[in-house]
Structure 1
Amino acid sequence: MPELVFADPAERDDLGAFVARAVRLDGQTVVRLRGRDGGLIDSWVATPFDVLATRTVRGQVQPADVTVSGNELLAALAVVRGDRVDPGAARDLQWRSALPPVAHWHMVDDLPARVVSDLADRGLALARESAGPHGTPPAALLDQTVLTVSGDGMEIKVPLRCLFAMSGMGFLGTNDAGEQVRVTATDAWLRIDARFGAVVRRRHALLPLLV
């Protein structure tokens, strides 16, 4: 049976806030929990924008890599106030997204969080104007490049869907003038880290398999 262990209640509450935002975006979401050396848990969700969101908290998870229901995990974190939490039954088969590598990330640039937040707000306003019959922004808009950053010999194009995911997960909206958002990348992946979490997306589409 899966189990989470937290030495600090604040870490449990941080994970709860992350899961609550993911459930608001998608009521059927699942959360992948992966233990790391040093007593860390990486939590992952797939957002409706085809972008992964992640947050790291201090604690332990058994087994070391397990996927659980977002709703069940959220309920457990809200109800159980002790240091051990049953996150619900494993739902590993429901996780369908590849995860990025742990190593080989290159620092590209630091951006003012206010600039990124303003770009996300303008994109959301444009999306409302051009949303389809089901309220979904067109893919062409989501894939539009809103930022191009360069550093360490890399030029990284950031699509609007990444900023939508950051806004939807509550990672943006700070009033701190000095707060920064960090952009890192590998040959295949883009990652944007803000104070309350990060979003991750493949830089290039996977080529289809030839039959």
Structure 2
Amino acid sequence: MAWLDGLGAADARAFLARAVRLDAGAVVRLRPAGDDRVTLWSRLPWGVLVSRGVPGHVDGDHTVLARELLVMLDDQLPAFRDSEWRWSIPGDAGVVVERIPGADIRRVGAAAADTLRTAAAEGVGGRAVGSRVLRDALLDHVPIVVTTDGGERVEIPQRLVQAVVRMGFMTSERAPARDFVDVRKSGPWTALACAYGSAWHRAAKTLFIG
């Protein structure tokens, strides 16, 4: 029996295709979300978790290889790889602390891409800089900071912005009215929640839990 409701096939396929494009060896965790829905989780190479809910049903919490699931969407689940999921995930959806226009997120993402191209071609301060060093510096940069009603400072690193842009989570012609992004907080986690998925980053230096 197929695990995925036909109505969610396109959404699941889009999520999996982008995850595989960014990391050919990516795994995806399938978690029951109630009301006949399943949440797909994956981890991007730059340490951000991404998630998307789709109509479907799974008997338990399981991890599979993303590329295998992508070619088996209309069939049963591929072999489980539960031991390969080694990261914690947020305990809940968190609370919205700010709403940002989608245009601002796209602008910040595009500016980072332009900076990376220019630095790679021309160097920084006249000196050549390795591509990995440039990438890591840009991902760690904090282009957006919001303050909660309680006075807490919430930093949005570029790695979160790049996650929602490169995973295609922003609004499209199918949802033109949803052109905004919610900043959510759940304990140590910060998220950008978009029309087609969310990206999560934990303040701690690592997501590995052994």
Q: Tell me if TM exceeds 0.5.
A: yes
**C-alpha contact 2:29 2:63 (8 A) present in aligned 1:** yes
Structure with more strand by fraction: 1
| Equivalence map 1:18-29=2 (5 Å) | 18-29=15-26
Task: Look up the match of 1:67.
Answer: 63
Query: 1:49–1:173: structure 2 CA closer, same or farther, 3 Å change rule?
Result: farther
Q: Distance in 2 between matches of 1:200 and 1:31?
A: 15
Give the match's secondary structure for 1:129.
helix
Contact 2:50 2:197 in 1 (8 A): yes
Q: Does 1:168 pair with 2:166? A: yes
| AA of the residue aligned to 1:181 | V
Report how far residue 56 of structure 1 moved: 0.5
119, 122, 125: which is aligned to 2:114? 125
**Among residues 75, 78, 85, which one is paired with 1:88 in the alignment?**
78
The Cα of 1:4 is off from its aligned counterpart by 4.9
Separation (CA, whole Å) in 2 of partners of 1:21 and 1:73 = 13
Cα pair 2:171 2:195 within 8 Å, conserved: no
- Deviation digits for residues 94-144 of structure 1 (CA, Å, limit 9, x no counterpart): 1121111126x2220111011111110111111233456566743222111
- Alpha-carbon separation, structure 2, partners of 1:163 and 1:123: 10
Ranges in structure 2 where 5+ consecutive residues have no aligned partner: 121-128
- What number of residue pairs does the alignment pair up? 198
CA RMSD for the aligned pairs?
A: 2.5
Contact 1:107 1:152 in 2 (8 A): no
Q: TM-score of the superposition, structure 1-length normalised? A: 0.84
TM-score (norm 2): 0.84
Q: Percent identity?
A: 31
Cα offset, 1:12, TM superposition = 1.9
Change (3 A) 1:159 1:167: same
SS class of match (1:24): helix
Q: CA deviation at 1:178?
A: 6.1
